[in-house]
Amino acid sequence: MKSEILSLLRNADGYVSGEELSKKLGVSRTAIWKNINLLRDEGYVINSLTNRGYKLEKSPDVLDENIIADGLNVSSVGTKIKVMKSVDSTNEEVKRLANSGEESGLIVAAEEQTAGKGRLGRVWKSDNGGLYFTLLIRPELPPSAIASITLAAGYAVCLAIRDYTGCDAKIKWPNDVIIGNKKVCGILTEMAAQSDQIDYVAIGIGINVNHTEFPEEISQKATSLLIETGKKIDRNPFFKCVIQKLDEVISSFLFSFSLEDVQSFKSLCATLGRKVSVQRSGKTIEGTACDINADGELIIKDYTGKNICINSGEVTVQGIY
């Protein structure tokens, strides 16, 4: 009932009378009034005027499945959206659901993660103001596609940030999105697979949206959309834009992935052309990042002129972090 009232108030051009709400929803005016008060308790600012009715003035900064799904036009990503107040990790929740048969396309988002996970066993601190979510897909692809799936997700996040904020977001291969030389988004992709076929992929995405500051140890490396734009971002429409881009990019990936897609990813990859170093089997590989191949792997030309393919790992990029 609350979400139906909200939807009517949101789509109204001004005040909506209690009578109109009660007629449209088939309940008494007292029930409407009670639910309006429940919404106020949740932080919605709703004006009421005698003889005119109710008007939504301001919504609280909470993720709302209904606002996000309203008008979303997707074919394979975000076909089902679940928003949770708190969860250990959205990746863990998606993996639990995937293991009990959940279909491809689900997105689970949470306001708070009590055990948010970063790459390489790190903790992903999930404070207020961020966007933390995981997407479940079941592509009919071999496990080797995992690197390009992660790149596709990063590329989609870049497009959404560029469209929504105008910031010059780029990919730091393989899993980060940066603005300038600072990280604004991290991606943790986890997979369950047979030897030649992926069962599912959980793509976990954490975006620094309205953070005003970061802990000392990462303050030189991290940024947020608020810091970059100077404006607080309304997370619901921004999230919708991210889902729309993920759907566009990943649908193409699932059904007709081509070298053109790789070209697009490359066009927004800040790592290419820079001096890089990466640890592999206890050795340091140093050289220049010169290309990304069809499997999403980074090709590094080392100082002897040899091309080395890297499919994962912590890459240090000169000039970034």
> Nearer to ligand BTN by C-beta: 119 or 266?
119
Q: Which is nearer to ligand BTN, 59 or 104 (CB)?
A: 104
How many Å apart are CA 123 and CA 144, to the nearest integer? 26
Instruction: Give least dist CB 215 to ligand BTN, A.
Output: 15
Q: Which amino acid is at 11?
A: N
Neighbours of 3 (CB within 10 A): 13
Q: How far is the CB of 301 from ligand BTN (least distance, A)?
A: 26
Contact indicator for 25, 18 with CB cutoff of 8 Å: no
Task: Between 113 and 271, name the residue whose CB sits nearer to ligand BTN.
Answer: 113
- Tell me the three state secondary structure of residue 193: strand
Given the complex with ligand BTN, which of 14 and 121 has the nearer CB atom?
Answer: 121
Closest approach, Cβ 208 to ligand BTN, in A, equals 10
The least CB distance from residue 71 to ligand BTN, in Å, is: 24
What type of residue sits at position 223? T
CA-nearest of 101, 184, 203, 100 to 145 is 203
User: Do β-strands 315-317 and 307-310 pair in parallel, antiparallel, or remain unpaired?
Assistant: unpaired
Give the C-alpha separation, 270 to 177, whole Å.
9
How far apart are CB 69 and ligand BTN at their closest, in Å?
19
Helix (H) or strand (E) holding 2: helix 2-10
Contact residues for ligand BTN, defined by CB under 6 A: 89-91, 113, 116-119, 122, 124, 132-134, 175-176, 186-188, 204-206
